């Protein structure tokens, strides 16, 4: 069994404090690769450093809608492009739109549009954050100049109707610890609807602890080793063994990441 955490923030101080033990626990849990997503220019170097020292790390560089720097994108977009060219396997992310938090949506869109365009121009997947902005995200994806470049809907929380629409935009759907919340009836229906070859899993570490781990200790940080909890939940929803589900997810991860990145044995 080989798993790939398609969205995490291992540069977060609460996780870097764990040192090599974090990677040891991940390996013991069969997690053999990580997409480590930056959130702002201030953490790009830390994500790059992880990619330089850990071959399992696929870096993603971008500006999150909550953490927009002062000034216009022209002040930081050239640096982002240079960094992406320096790391040919890197994705663009975490980028996106959010009506629930962060600066006004118009300012978020001002930063989002050029980053999405950059991902297309450089042929890099974009890891997308979306909260209550499916309408605006769909508007941008429908008008992309490079629709052949995949996007990954990180910690997907939309409906079946949203999933149906975004399948047409070459979207992949990554599920986090939110799917382990037994009171969440929407995500199991989405997982039963989606083509299995578009499904990925992630931890969004250090956030979004799986439900049972949160009940045991809501203050502990999430980490990639907990990906097995999400795998187990998908297996229940798909009514199959975890081993069968893991094989599907391994194939999907290889298909998507293999175009850009080749971690050891994954």
Task: Measure Cα distances from 186 to 91, 162, 168, 217, 229 in Å.
Answer: 28, 11, 20, 25, 18
Residue 264 is predicted with a pLDDT of 45
How much is the average pLDDT of 156-167? 98
| Eight-state DSSP code of residue 133 | -
Please state whether the peptide bond connecting residue 184 to the residue before it is cis, i.e. omega within 30 degrees of 0: no
CB atoms inside a 10 Å sphere around CB 108: 24
For residues 21-39, give the mean pLDDT.
Answer: 97
Helix, strand, coil share (%) of the chain residues, nearest 5: 45, 15, 35
pLDDT at position 71:
87
Segment 182-189 shows an average pLDDT of 92
- Distances in Å between the Cα of 75 and the Cα atoms of 54, 69, 141, 184 are 30, 9, 24, 41
Contact between residue 93 and residue 112 where contact means Cβ atoms under 8 Å apart: no
Please state, for a pLDDT cut of 90, what percent of the chain lies above it.
Answer: 93
Mean pLDDT in residue range 135-156:
97
Q: Given a cut of 80, is residue 266 above it in pLDDT?
A: no
What is the rounded average pLDDT for all residues in the chain? 95
Average pLDDT over residues 35-42: 98
pLDDT band at 262 (very low <50, low <70, confident <90, very high): low
Closest by CA to 64, choosing from 12, 123, 141, is 12
DSSP 8-state secondary structure symbol assigned to residue 68: P
Q: What pLDDT, in 10s, does the model give residues 209-260?
A: 999 999 999 999 999 999 999 999 999 999 999 999 999 999 999 999 875 5
Domains and CATH numbers, the chain: 3-257 (3.20.20.140)
- pLDDT value, residue 182: 87
Residues 77-126 have pLDDT tens digits of: 999 999 999 999 999 999 999 999 999 999 999 999 999 999 999 999 99
What average pLDDT score do residues 199-217 get?
A: 97
To the nearest whole percent, how much of the chain has pLDDT over 70? 97
Residue 58 confidence (pLDDT): 96
pLDDT of residue 1: 86
Start-to-end CA span in the chain (Å): 10
Whether the upstream peptide bond of residue 192 has omega within 30° of 0, thus cis, is no
* 96/94 Cα distance (integer angstroms): 7
Output b/e per residue, 62-78; b: 16+ Cβ within 10 A.
Answer: bbbbbbbeeeebeebbe
- Phi, psi for residue 130 in degrees, rounded to 5: -145, 120
């Amino acid at each position: 069994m080989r798993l790939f955490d398609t969205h995490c923030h291992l540069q977060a101080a609460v996780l870097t404090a764990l040192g090599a033990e974090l990677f040891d626990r991940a390996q013991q849990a069969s997690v053999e690769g990580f997409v480590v997503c930056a959130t702002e220019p201030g953490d790009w170097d830390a994500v790059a450093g992880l990619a330089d020292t850990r071959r399992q790390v696929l870096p993603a560089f971008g500006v999150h809608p909550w953490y927009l720097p002062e000034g216009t994108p022209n002040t930081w977009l050239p640096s982002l492009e240079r960094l992406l060219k320096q790391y040919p396997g890197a994705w663009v992310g975490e980028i996106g739109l959010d009506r629930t938090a962060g600066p006004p949506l118009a300012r978020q869109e001002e930063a989002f549009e050029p980053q999405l365009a950059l991902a297309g121009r450089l042929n890099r997947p974009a890891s997308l954050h979306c909260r209550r902005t499916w309408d605006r995200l769909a508007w941008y994806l429908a008008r992309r100049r490079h629709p052949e470049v995949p996007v990954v809907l990180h910690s997907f929380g939309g409906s079946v109707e949203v999933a149906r629409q975004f399948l047409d935009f070459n979207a992949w759907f990554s599920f986090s610890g939110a799917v382990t919340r037994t009171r969440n009836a929407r995500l199991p229906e989405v997982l039963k609807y989606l083509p299995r070859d578009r499904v990925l899993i992630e931890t969004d570490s250090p956030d979004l602890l799986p439900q049972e781990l949160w009940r045991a200790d809501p203050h502990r940080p999430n980490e990639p080793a907990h990906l097995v909890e999400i795998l187990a939940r998908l297996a229940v929803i798909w009514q199959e063994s975890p081993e069968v589900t893991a094989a599907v997810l391994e194939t999907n991860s290889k298909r998507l990441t293999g175009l850009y990145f080749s971690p050891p044995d994954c």
